[in-house]
Structure 1
Amino acid sequence: MVELKSIESLNLVDLCFLCAKNTTSLLFLDIETEGLSKEKNDITLIGVYTQGKYLPFIKGLNLERSLSLLKVSPIWVTFGGERFDLPFIKKRFPEVSMPVVHLDLYLASKLVGLNGGLKKIEKAIGIARETEGMNGYHAVKLWQRWVEAKDKNALRKLILYNKEDVVNLKKVFDYVVSKLAEQRKEGQKGGEIDEVRSSAIF
């Protein structure tokens, strides 16, 4: 069991190692939305990856079933979730408490010299995608095609896009942890760690 008081003093490097030691507690998470405003736009899809399995939760079909995982998973891992995913989830599901730990890989990746968005980082470490070239704008358009025309191919492509986002979070996480372990073994500091302390923890 991960307890908040046990992680309050951890820097981001040690937080990564804590997550690596609690892999069965990790919930990799990525959402798709109708747009960028949490006030005007709703969540269309919540994708999670936990214990080797990807699960999509879709608005109008089974979105509320995501609560069964969101409520019980003590560690959420996202990319840029502090500014995007979590505010949307808080707005859509105010009854959901934030996790004991939130690890934002956007911050953690910087510790090993990886900068930019998720897809840029994927390319830098050799991760390929079936949905190469797609981005959030395309995801919004696919959702519109599903809503307006019940285009099942559009929904399938949206789910695949989200799946690659979520599953690749795990790959980026593993890469970051392995590089941090190498740095620690070599006695390297791994960047300005002290300046990036508990900002990724809720």
Structure 2
Amino acid sequence: MKIAVTRLAGKEERDAARCAAFGHACYSVHPLRSEIQEDVIAAFAGSVERGEFDCLFFTSALPAKILAPLLKKTPRVIAIGPETARELERYGVACETLPGFYSRDFVPYLGDWIEGKTIGLPRADVPNAPLIDAITRAGGIAREFRCYRLASTNEPLDLDRADAILFTSAMSFKKAIWTPRRDLMVMAIGDITAAALMSGRTIPAIVGDGSLEGTLAALNEHRGRIWIIR
């Protein structure tokens, strides 16, 4: 299948190879663009340099890519997935990788260690109250740095050559300008994105585990079941 994957421009570097490993082709479509907040980035880097955090949690690859070159010394660093970890490690920032692909996995991963610790969160300017609340309830201190804003590109997605579209975040669906087709399979990268689709009266045929690989594996399993039924 040829899959249109919603991405911020520049975040699609390895998608083609990752899709090919599962027998599919893909290309990127861009419902969102990022607006980098340079003053916030400088403030975060300065706070890290001064040793104000016990842990940093990178919830996506973009802030890792922006900030990793600026970090000379770091406390404990957690990445939400292997792509985020790869961006950090590219610049020599050692990190741990969550076993799951959701920010809700962060506090359970740290366990009792989080109590009394200050957590630096370089993120998009998108609310994530459940993460902040979970850190606070566990006795941690959350400090958010909203390093970039997400805005609609206001451009219709190029789906004419696609057999499927994969929405990689709730925001990418909410801001997308696109035309559904009967022959266009709709996929969600995980359950949070799927919930956004269903709120918008779009039922995803495939729901992944929060990762591209997990979604492609679910797609192949789905196709295998259809083949057996036929």
One fold, TM greater than 0.5? no
TM-score by length of 2: 0.30
Q: TM-score, normalised by structure 1?
A: 0.33
> Which of the two has higher C-alpha Rg?
2
* Higher RCO (Cα < 8 Å, 6 or more apart): 1
Q: Which is helix-richer, 1 or 2? A: 1
The structure whose residues are more often strand, as a share, is 2
